[in-house]
């Protein structure tokens, strides 16, 4: 049997997937005939599944990660199937939203393509935010992966000093900031639980104290498609 890791005459070569994990980024993709491979990833040789390409940013979700992600995401523009692997302890939620919006926009403007999330080891905080931009049917986790869902945090000193009307403006500006952040946070929670057995009330009850989930539990709750 021919090895499908190598391009054959007249075939479309399997090129790239994106992998964002604690040691770096790489990319894999394929044409539409390769979508069934998702159910067989765990049968692939490690050298095939973890081929490192390009620069290797840290596991923190930050602008360096976004730059590497965006570069390789653009390089996979001709692939119908793009698998994005992630392992992270968290980072900047706005960067996670930027990455997620790139995936969402491409999914909506190019419906013939499929974008799949594969979580590995740990998906904490901003990593869950990024995952929430994928349809539930396109969320996969490696065995033993842990998720952590929590509320956004704010650390800020509020100094009130000046005319009373100015003091009101300072307080109101901080309150507006908090309310806006809560709204964005809850939008992410709603996206995360869409199509699952989890209610927004349950998330809001557990998130303030950091809600940890094992991959199989996340599958049982309907937050992900399956565990590989």
Q: What is the pLDDT of residues 178-189, one digit of tens each?
A: 999 999 999 999
Q: Which residues contact 160 (CB under 8 A, 6 or more apart)?
A: 167, 170, 171
Structure confidence at residue 30 as a pLDDT band (50, 70, 90): low
- Domains recognised in the chain with CATH numbers: 18-227 (3.90.226.10)
- Among the residues of 46-147, which ranges form H helices? 46-49, 63-75, 93-109, 126-131
Q: What is the pLDDT of residues 35-92, one digit of tens each?
A: 555 555 444 433 233 222 223 334 889 998 999 899 888 988 888 888 898 999 999 9
pTM tops 0.95: no
């Amino acid at each position: 049997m021919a090895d499908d890791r190598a391009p054959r005459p007249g075939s479309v070569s399997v090129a790239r997937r994106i992998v964002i994990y604690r040691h770096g980024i790489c990319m894999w993709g394929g044409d539409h005939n390769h979508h069934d491979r998702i159910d067989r990833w765990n049968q692939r040789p490690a050298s095939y599944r973890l081929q490192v390409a390009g620069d290797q940013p840290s596991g923190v979700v930050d602008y360096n990660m976004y730059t590497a992600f965006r570069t390789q995401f653009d390089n996979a523009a001709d692939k119908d199937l793009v698998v994005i692997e992630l392992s992270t302890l968290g980072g900047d939620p706005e960067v996670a939203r930027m990455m997620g919006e790139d995936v969402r926009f491409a999914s909506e403007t190019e419906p013939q393509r499929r974008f799949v999330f594969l979580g590995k080891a740990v998906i904490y905080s901003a990593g869950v935010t990024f995952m929430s931009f994928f349809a539930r049917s396109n969320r996969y986790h490696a065995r033993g992966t842990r998720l952590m869902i929590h509320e956004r945090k704010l650390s800020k000193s509020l100094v009130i000093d000046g005319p009373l009307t100015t003091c009101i403006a300072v307080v109101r500006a901080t309150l507006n900031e908090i309310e806006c952040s809560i709204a964005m946070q809850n939008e992410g929670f709603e996206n995360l639980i869409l199509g699952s057995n989890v209610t927004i009330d349950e998330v809001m009850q557990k998130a303030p104290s950091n809600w940890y989930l094992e991959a199989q539990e996340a599958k049982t709750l309907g937050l992900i498609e399956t565990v590989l």
